[in-house]
Structure 1
Amino acid sequence: MRTIKLGTSNLEVPVIAVGCMRINSLDKQEAERFVQTSLELGANFFDHADIYGGGNCESIFADAVHMNDDVREKMILQSKCGIRKGMFDFSKEHILQSVDGILQRLRTDYLDVLLLHRPDTLVEPEEVAEAFDQLERTGKVRHFGVSNQNPMQIQLLQKYVKQPIVANQLQLSITNATMISQGFNVNMENAAAVNRDGSILDFCRLNDITIQPWSPFQYGFFEGVFLDNEKFPELNAKINEIAEKYNVSNTTIAIAWLLRHPANMQPVTGTMNLGRIADCAKASEITLTREEWYAIFLAAGNILP
């Protein structure tokens, strides 16, 4: 599979990240087959979070791969922390405790990447910096990033945190593309898209922060998938037309649409289906034309000024 550098780091990662939020829906044999299939496809970057399945997803993953030192070196592990019941928590104490729990459940000594999961308005960035320094010094975390953060939130962290922010995990799909569509409506009256994120797309490109789109097949906030959905007839007709041209599935085209963007994104899949994970991986071999990319964008109901 094609690879990219994660942010400003020297870490080579596949352009597809395998999301493990739903791995607890599989039995033991299914989980083993899923992880093994992903590895065989070259998709060896696995995305976790301490809240997925109440932490159980990380334990299931470790069991599925029969975690040991040899297995560990064949994969790249990312996890997230900062969400607690009824609150967000970027305190030094919580970050350090969370990482220890993550490492215990994954049965590993280190994370390749740690992301702060959801912005904590009570964040004291000096504490985050202390936590990151300790995690780096002890070898528990090698690279750091954020999730769902806007430019000012990242800049506030970077004022104190010395480690580069290598990734920002953001909701993005063909039907949830306001971070793209707002860029078409600069200085436009009655703009079709409202700037809700401070131009995070351009900010990440300017600062070499890898965007990791989550829910790449979802519309709304986990309302369902847009592929083969009767709510999106024009979009599916266009995707299917292009899929037929390349002799691939509509799943492949949906991921290829994200990969076509020059921001060098790393979409995070959420499927536990072996066929679909293979279809996602195949997207790394396809480069949509400019005409095809825009045709899909417009078919989703997006408007050009």
Structure 2
Amino acid sequence: MEKIKLGQSDLEVSRLALGCMRLAGVDLEKAKEVIKTSLDLGINFFDHADIYGGGQSEVLFGQAIKELGVKREDIIIQSKCGIRRGFFDFSKDYILESVDGILERLQTDYLDVLVLHRPDALLEPEEVAEAFNVLKASGKVRHFGLSNVNSYQIELLQSYLEEPLLVNQLQLSIAHTPMIDAGLQVNMLTDGGVNRDGSVLDYCRLKKITIQTWSPFLIALDKGTFFGHPDYAELNAELEALATEKGVAPETIAIAWILRHPAKMQAIIGSMTPERLENVAKACDVILTRQEWYKLYLSAGNILP
């Protein structure tokens, strides 16, 4: 499994991360199987959030790691906070309270990375900075990041912090590419040419912030994945053709497409199926040519100038 440096830190992380949102939907034995498979494949990074399964995903993970005998220093654990029922909350008190709950559920003394989950319109950067300073000084959190934010939201918060933010989690799949479209369709009167996120892809590259891609097979939250979807017949045909040519599964090609981008993104994989995890892990060994990458992009209905 290929490793990269996470942001401007010394953390060496696997190019693939196990997203633990669906862990709450399995029992302890299945959780252990999924985690062990991930570790055997070289995945050392596990992504959580306090809202996943109402905290149950973290509980199961903590129990599974303990029963598997995994050394805490051999894995990197990230969790997120800030989403509450009906609103977002980046207040100092809530961040501190959330982290205490996360650590208790995970049965660990520290998080390698804490990420703020969704932009809070009532963000007070001074409060967030105070919370981060407390967590860092206490040893409860070693590094920090953000999720689903644009360039100026990062810039604003970073201006109050003492150390660089490491990550930005953003949705990306071959069928969901707005942060790529805007960079290709510059100055065009097309939907894809609308800059919706402040050129966040290029900004993160410039600032050495690792983009963590979530839902790498999703079209949109209300449409499901592109695999077998009637609106993406051309994309599925191209994935099948490339998969057959390279002797891998279509999902391997879909992840290889993300990893091919020079931004060195980290793909978060949320599957609880060991076989699929084994398939996507092979993506690290599949190098798509420039022509193959663009052909997949176009087969999903995207355009070029």
Q: Which bracket does the TM-score occupy, shorter chain normalised?
A: over 0.9
Q: Note if contact 2:90-2:123 (Cα within 8 Å) is conserved in structure 1.
A: yes
Write out the 4+ residue segments of structure 1 that deviate beyond 3 Å after TM superposition.
67-70, 190-193
C-alpha deviation, 1:193, in angstroms: 3.4
Distance 1:68 1:41, change over 3 A: closer
Distance 1:81 1:67, change over 3 A: farther
C-alpha deviation, 1:69, in angstroms: 8.4
Could you tell me which amino acid in structure 2 is paired with residue 243 of structure 1? Answer: A
User: TM-score normalized by structure 1?
Assistant: 0.97
| 1:148 corresponding residue in structure 2 | 148
| 1:90 corresponding residue in structure 2 | 90
Could you tell me which amino acid in structure 1 is paired with residue 72 of structure 2? Answer: R
Q: Note if contact 1:8-1:209 (Cα within 8 Å) is conserved in structure 2.
A: yes
Could you tell me which amino acid in structure 2 is paired with residue 286 of structure 1? Answer: V
Q: Note if contact 2:6-2:210 (Cα within 8 Å) is conserved in structure 1.
A: yes
Q: Note if contact 2:32-2:68 (Cα within 8 Å) is conserved in structure 1.
A: no
Find the aligned partners of 1:242 and 1:130 in 2 and give their Cα distance: 50
| 1:177 corresponding residue in structure 2 | 177
Q: Note if contact 1:129-1:160 (Cα within 8 Å) is conserved in structure 2.
A: yes
C-alpha deviation, 1:245, in angstroms: 1.3
SS in 1 for 2:230: coil
Q: Point out the more displaced range, 158-167 or 226-235.
A: 226-235
Asked whether 1:60 is paired with 2:60, we answer yes
| 1:136 corresponding residue in structure 2 | 136
5 Å-filtered alignment, 1:25-104, equals 25-66=25-66, 71-104=71-104
| 1:15 corresponding residue in structure 2 | 15
Deviations 1:116-155 (A, max 9, x none): 0000010100010011111111111111000000001001
SS in 2 for 1:134: helix
Unaligned runs of 5+ in 2: none
| 1:266 corresponding residue in structure 2 | 266
Find the aligned partners of 1:91 and 1:222 in 2 and give their Cα distance: 30
Aligned residues: 305
Deviations 1:220-265 (A, max 9, x none): 1252111232331100000111111110000100000000000000
Find the aligned partners of 2:266 and 2:45 in 1 and give their Cα distance: 10
Asked whether 1:254 is paired with 2:254, we answer yes
Could you tell me which amino acid in structure 2 is paired with residue 211 of structure 1? Answer: I
Deviations 1:47-80 (A, max 9, x none): 0000000111100111112269852122110000
Could you tell me which amino acid in structure 1 is paired with residue 177 of structure 2? Answer: A
User: TM-score normalized by structure 2?
Assistant: 0.97
SS in 2 for 1:288: coil
Find the aligned partners of 2:36 and 2:104 in 1 and give their Cα distance: 22
SS in 2 for 1:189: coil
5 Å-filtered alignment, 1:201-240, equals 201-240=201-240
Could you tell me which amino acid in structure 2 is paired with residue 187 of structure 1? Answer: N
Deviations 1:52-111 (A, max 9, x none): 001111001111122698521221100000011111000110000000100000000000
SS in 1 for 2:109: coil
Q: Note if contact 1:67-1:107 (Cα within 8 Å) is conserved in structure 2.
A: no
SS in 2 for 1:267: strand
| 1:241 corresponding residue in structure 2 | 241
C-alpha deviation, 1:192, in angstroms: 3.5
Could you tell me which amino acid in structure 2 is paired with residue 143 of structure 1? Answer: H
Distance 1:68 1:272, change over 3 A: closer
Q: Note if contact 2:185-2:193 (Cα within 8 Å) is conserved in structure 1.
A: yes
Q: Let me know the Cα RMSD of the aligned residues.
A: 1.3
Find the aligned partners of 2:238 and 2:100 in 1 and give their Cα distance: 47
C-alpha deviation, 1:9, in angstroms: 0.6
Asked whether 1:167 is paired with 2:167, we answer yes
Could you tell me which amino acid in structure 2 is paired with residue 132 of structure 1? Answer: F
C-alpha deviation, 1:190, in angstroms: 3.5
Find the aligned partners of 2:35 and 2:112 in 1 and give their Cα distance: 18
Question: Percent identical across equivalent pairs?
Answer: 57
5 Å-filtered alignment, 1:116-131, equals 116-131=116-131
Could you tell me which amino acid in structure 1 is paired with residue 136 of structure 2? Answer: E
Q: Note if contact 2:187-2:193 (Cα within 8 Å) is conserved in structure 1.
A: no
Distance 1:30 1:69, change over 3 A: closer
